[in-house]
Amino acid sequence: MKKIQSLLTTALCSAAILSPAVQAKEQSLKVFNWFDYITPQTLTNFKKDTQIKLTYDIYDSNEVLEAKLLTGHSGYDLVVPSNVFLAKQVEAGVFQKLDRSLLPNWQHLDPSLMKLIEANDPGNQYAVPYMYGTVLLGFNPDKIKAALGENAPLNSWDLIFKEENISKLKACGVAMLDSPSEILPIALHYLGLPPNSKDPADYAKAEALMLKIRPYVSYFHSSKYQADIANGDICLAIGYSGSFSQAANNAKQANNGVVVDMRLPKEGAPIWFDMMAIPKDAKNIAEAHTFINYLLQPQVIAPISDFVGYPNPNKDATELVAPAIRNNPNLYPTAAAMQTLYTLEPLPHPAERARTRAWTKIKSGQ
């Protein structure tokens, strides 16, 4: 009996010793992030360093993410909405507050950028910035100049909003983001109206402008344009700054003879922040904080900026980012350009409905 008891005691002690390791192996995390927005090596290193089982899914628009979040059962532990959507979602109660004690690398964040973000997340309570950037023009300079000549207005929204320009580009392909929350503020600003207008009548004016150029737009999609412009299938797109940086690199690597360039229009453009946040229904909260804190390391986030072509909000990582990115004024806006940029804000329901109705008509072309 003593021998049996001794064996039992030994087995129980062994189980107690092994249980933390077993438990660690059973840790899991489900992340929902933007398409092509992290290096594969980052994910591999995270899993290796933490032993956390990682499920990583992707989406290509804020609207797709929001639809999932507002069901109340997202199924994810960490998501990455843009700042204007975050503000609405915080108000709707879909996120939980961060535990700063689990984020010692918070110290690396740029205080000036965190102050800007407080407009959408007062006190920076619910989210941590991942990357930021602008919405601008990406193009194939050879095809644009072949259609419009050497004096094509490459640094102006005139390139796309003036019918005499865009009509000549239809043959080589024009794409836009499938995102009313970003495209319509650009149209409003171009018309001299507030980009965050709360007046439904303003959206009728933006709709009229968009319908005028709609026949020359090949498609609306928030990720397809990146591969298409790199392959030479389109010559002009309104898209995210970093996506054109990636497209340019992809074209070079493919050695396909395609050149991709970009311009931050002189009239101004939206500036946005993509934010890491933890849904209310998250089941792996500690692991979500571990992932955020991992990405807040300067040596981890800098290679991601190199890969995706976007600046990051980590003040101690800037010097680690490739010079070709941090010194490009279309990616890292100059002080003068920053004065022309504008942040986007949530709209009251009447204006949101007007914008949604306008977008439906624009996409259908009617």
Q: Contact 358/203 with Cβ under 8 angstroms?
A: yes
Angle, helices 40-50/298-308, rounded to nearest 10 degrees: 160
Confidence (pLDDT) at 339? 86
* 253 Rama sector, left if φ>0, alpha if ψ -120 to 50, beta otherwise: alpha
The DSSP call for residue 96 is: -
Cβ-count burial 26-56 (b if 16+ within 10 Å, e if not): eeebbbbbbebbbeeebeeebeeebebebeb
The DSSP call for residue 342 is: B
H or E element: which one contains 74?
A: none
Q: Contact 154/139 with Cβ under 8 angstroms?
A: yes
Domain ranges for the chain, please list them: 28-132+273-332, 134-271+343-364
CA–CA dist 195, 176 (Å, integer): 17
Q: Contact 278/86 with Cβ under 8 angstroms?
A: no
Confidence (pLDDT) at 230? 98
pLDDT per position as a tens digit, 271-284: 999 999 999 999 99
pLDDT per position as a tens digit, 93-151: 999 999 999 999 999 999 988 988 998 999 999 999 999 999 999 999 999 999 999 99
Q: Contact 356/183 with Cβ under 8 angstroms?
A: no
Q: Contact 53/29 with Cβ under 8 angstroms?
A: yes
CA–CA dist 154, 87 (Å, integer): 33
Vertex 36 angle, CA 30 and 38, to 5°? 65
- In this prediction, the residues of the chain whose per-residue pLDDT falls under 70 are 1-25
Fold of the domain built from segment(s) 134-271+343-364: D-Maltodextrin-Binding Protein; domain 2 (3.40.190)
Q: Contact 128/276 with Cβ under 8 angstroms?
A: yes
CATH for 28-132+273-332 (3.40.50.740, 3.40.190.10, 3.20.20.70, 3.30.930.10): 3.40.190.10
Confidence (pLDDT) at 144? 98
Query: Quick check: do 28-132+273-332 and 134-271+343-364 share a fold?
Result: yes
Confidence (pLDDT) at 80? 98
Rg from Cα positions in the chain? 23
Confidence (pLDDT) at 60? 87
> Counting every residue, how long is the chain?
366
Across-strand partners of 8?
none
Secondary structure (DSSP) of 228-247: HHHHTS-SEEEEEHHHHHHH
Secondary structure (DSSP) of 158-206: HHHHSHHHHTTTGGG-EEE-S-HHHHHHHHHHHTTS-TT---HHHHHHH
